[in-house]
Amino acid sequence: MRRPHWPRRVFAQLLLSQTVVTVGVSAVTAGLFLAPVSRELDRDAMQRALSIAQATATDEVLARAAAARDSAAAQRNAEQIRLATGASFVVVTDLDGIRLSHTDPAKIGFRVSTDPGPALGGRSVTAIEQGTLGRTARGKVPLRLSDGRIVGEVSVGISDDSIRRRLLGMATGILLCAGAGLAAGTLATLVLARRLKRRTHNIAVADIAALLVEREAMLHGIREGMVALGADGRIRLANDEAVRLLALPDGCAGCAIEQVLPPGRLAGILAGRITGTDLPAVRDDRVLLLNRMATADGGAVVTLRDRTELESLVRELDTTRSLTEALRAQDHEHANRMHTLLGLLELGLYEQAAEFISEQSGSHAALAAAIAGQVQDPHVAALLAGKAAVAAERGVRLVVGAGSHLPDTVVDPRMLVTVLGNLVDNALDALTGGVVEVTLRAEGAALLAEVADSGPGVPAPLRERIFEEGWTSKDAPAHRPRGLGLAMVRRLVERAGGRITVGAGALGGARFTVVLPEALHPAGGPAAHGVPELSVAEA
């Protein structure tokens, strides 16, 4: 025989289980009501039997008949009382417990089936007992003459059938109430089950468990960050990649955005105050792209992509493109110089040709010596040489300020190159011609770096806003977003314990000042003084 299966669907399981529970609760409730009602009816029947027995015992004629053992008189009076009161039986006995009256006359003259001792001893007794007439509620009292002498017992019984009839009459109402409760519970269960069916898309319980396992594996296995937010703006879920990218603390679920992230663009995007697609933001030294999608329950899901490496590659590509253009221009200039040299040789002007060669090689040697003398760190020197070529191609002169000196003791050259490279790029973007001045000074372990230009400058109201993520005054190129460079520079500087400010410079444009208190190793020498200003790139 095939065993019945438990329903697989969630709503069916809920409907069945809740129906069973409702029926069980209704049955238990009805039983709890009926049990005390039955006991109360038994007590009421015993008390009624006792009252009839006490009233019967006051009959003097019946007492004299019991004293004379006159069963005919006792039977006649007892039956009148039984019929008048509706009792099941009224039994009168003598002092020996012999019946003088009974509903069944054949039992007169025999000893009663229950113990008459307590009543003959002068006590009133109530009990539920099993006798010759079945289960009855009984009341027993002593039968006395007018002088108080006990001459027998009066026992009155109320049959169990009459008690049960009263109980059934009351049980009907109780069962009707229980049935109404059962119907209401079943209806509520059905409504709840139908709603749950819609919410769970009628899927099976096993499928829900599988979906949960798959969701956990998917969330923590994908290489993109994902943060789920509730309608109250608190984090409901963050996968491993989101925790890593946002540097969230352990146990961040249930926390508000403001509790785990500092105020700024990143927190604004997550909270929905900043809208759009592929929104860039910076967290520490990471460049992130965020997309926020609202959910039907008022919450949102935010996805994060790490563009740090891609951003670095794009910047390197931009630098390489600029250097390529600069090398192309230098190649063109070198060809012109070679043609000039060839012309001098063909004309026989050998002395002029030798002077021309010395002049060209001397200018390159002077440029190399200037960079090596002022900037001893190879990474920064290479950066300045490359930027000088780019500046020359754009018709801009990049110079190293007087008194600049950078020893080869930089703690984090990569960070310094990123900071200076972004500041120089911003200065070059702001110019169509003019001068960019880079000043580097070492003071013990501290480093002061300044990048000034002769451009239009930065208005005072915008000097804080330019460091915000995503803010830019320039059109963004197609291959990457704008507004991340200065934000990243500020994060890098502040993470190193330094500060960056912008103001008006002596050249008439903007001047960015970076102070890094622990940028150099303690072995670094003091700043050099008296080094004359020298152009490291001429247009």
Instruction: Tell me the pTM.
Output: 0.45
Looking at 276, 306, 336, the residue that finishes a domain is 306
Q: How many CA atoms lie within 13 A of 359 on its CB side?
A: 8
Domain assignment present for 120 = yes
Same domain, 263 and 148: no
CATH code, 128: 3.30.450.20
Whole-angstrom distance, CA of residue 528 vs CA of residue 183:
95
- The answer to the question of residue 405 being in a domain is yes
3-state secondary structure 25-61: HHHHHHHHHHHHHHHHHHHHHHHHHHHHHHHHHCCHH
Is residue 235 one of the residues assigned to a domain? Answer: yes
Q: Is there a single domain that holds both residue 28 and residue 152? A: yes
- Amino acid identity of residue 492, one-letter, is L
Return d(Cα 255, Cα 261) in angstroms, integer. Answer: 10
Asked if residue 274 is part of any domain, the answer here is: yes
Is 295 in the same domain as 428? no
Same domain? For 161 and 228 the reply is no
Residues 6+ away with beta carbon under 8 Å from 71? 65, 99, 100, 101, 108, 109
pLDDT at 153: 92
Write down how long the chain is: 539
pLDDT at 452: 92
DSSP letter assigned to residue 92: E
Is residue 462 a contact partner of residue 477, using CB atoms and an 8 Å limit? no
How far apart are the two ends of the chain, measured CA to CA in Å?
98
Nearest to 436 by CA among 405, 393, 474, 391: 391
3-class secondary structure for 469-503? CCCCCCCCCCCCCCCCHHHHHHHHHHHCCCEEEEE
- Residues 367 and 467 placed together within one structural domain of the fold: yes
Beta carbons within 10 angstroms of residue 301's beta carbon: 15
Both 429 and 530 in one domain: the answer is yes
Query: What phi and psi, each to the nearest 5 degrees, are found at residue 492?
Result: -65, -45
Q: What is the structure's pLDDT at 449?
A: 92
Strand boundaries in 245-299, DSSP class E: 279-283, 286-294
Q: Which amino acid is at 377?
A: D
pLDDT at residue 537, as a whole number: 36
Residues 273 and 394 in one domain: no
The candidate with the shortest Cα–Cα distance to 87, out of 116, 128, 45, 58, is: 45
* Residues 346/498, Cβ–Cβ less than 8 Å: no
Q: At what angle do helices 413-429 and 485-495 cross, to 10 degrees?
A: 150
Q: Do 255 and 149 share a structural domain?
A: no
366 and 479, same structural domain?
Answer: yes
Q: Which of 448, 457, 390 is nearest to 424 (CA)?
A: 390
User: Per the structure block, which two tokens stand in for 157?
Assistant: 């019984």
What token pair was written down for 349? 């002007």
Q: Which domain holds residue 529?
A: 359-535
Task: Flag whether 410 is in a domain.
Answer: yes
Each residue of 182-208: b (16+ CB within 10 Å) or e? beebbeebeeebeebbeebeeeebeee
The sign one gets for the Cα dihedral 222, 227, 231, 235 is positive
Q: The tokens of 524 are what?
A: 């670094």
Burial bucket for residue 278 (CB in 10 Å: 0-12, 13-18, 19+):
exposed
pLDDT tens over the chain, length 539 residues: 445 555 556 556 666 776 777 777 777 776 666 666 667 777 887 888 888 888 888 888 888 888 888 888 888 888 888 888 888 888 899 888 898 888 888 888 888 888 888 888 888 888 877 766 677 788 899 988 888 889 899 998 887 766 566 656 566 666 677 677 777 777 777 777 677 666 666 665 556 656 666 666 666 667 788 888 988 888 888 888 888 888 888 888 888 888 888 887 888 888 888 888 878 787 776 778 889 998 888 889 988 888 766 656 656 666 666 667 666 766 666 777 787 878 878 888 878 777 777 666 655 556 556 766 788 888 888 888 778 777 877 788 888 888 888 888 888 888 888 888 889 888 888 888 889 999 999 988 899 999 999 988 888 888 888 877 656 655 445 444 455 678 778 888 888 888 999 988 888 889 999 999 888 887 544 443 333 333 333 32
With respect to residue 200, please indicate whether it lies within any of the assigned structural domains. no
> Which of 283, 306, 329 is at the close of a domain?
306
391 and 297, same structural domain?
Answer: no
Whether 86 is covered by a domain: the verdict is yes
Q: What is the 3-state secondary structure (H, E, C) of 158-174?
A: EEHHHHHHHHHHHHHHH
Same-domain pairing of 530 and 438: yes
User: Is 205 inside any structural domain?
Assistant: no
83-92 burial, b for 16+ CB within 10 Å, e for fewer?
Answer: eebebbbbbb
* CATH number of the domain bearing residue 381: 3.30.565.10
Q: Is the same domain home to 162 and 239?
A: no
Distance between CA 380 and CA 385 in Å, rounded?
9
- Examine the fold and report which residue of 140, 166, 192 is the final residue of a domain before the chain moves on: 166
Domain count of the fold of the chain: 3
CB atoms within 10 A of CB 33: 17
